[in-house]
Structure 1
Amino acid sequence: MGKIEQHMNDTIIYYVEFTSQNQDKEKTIRKHRKLFAFRSFIYEEEVAELVKTYLANIIEITTVRKFLEGSFINNKT
């Protein structure tokens, strides 16, 4: 097992959709879709709060899903 596999063994990938507002003159609202990696001891319910804390200007988080091998395994909207 390589070093990457060794460190990713205890990691879960989450797909997160959210809207944010730019701090420019026009206050543009944009929708984003991102993948985030968290340690396995972070629960799905906690991901939304952690993403809000990590990123600025988030208006709303609309979707948090576990992501596994290119497909969604848990649907939560």
Structure 2
Amino acid sequence: PDMPKTAFADLWATIRSGKMWQGFVLNRGAHGRVYWVRAMVFPCYRGRNLEGYISVRTKPSRADIERAIAAYRRLP
């Protein structure tokens, strides 16, 4: 989908630094359908070792989607 690379770069930089990232992501489903989600992504640790990431996604409102589209258009 048409997501700015800088948006994904921010997501990865944030979670790799050990912090939670929250934002809107444009996904493509198995049958090619494009859809928006509100995502919260958390690094998951076992002790001090990073084991992976957990993503909690919910359906955003139409207003949220419109704000995300406008914000992403301003990104390089």
Is the pair's TM-score, using the shorter chain for normalization, greater than 0.5? Answer: no
TM-score by length of 1: 0.29
More helix by percentage: 2
TM-score by length of 2: 0.30
More strand by percentage: 1
Higher Rg of the two aligned structures: 1
Higher relative contact order, structure no. (Cα contacts within 8 Å, ≥ 6 residues apart) = 1
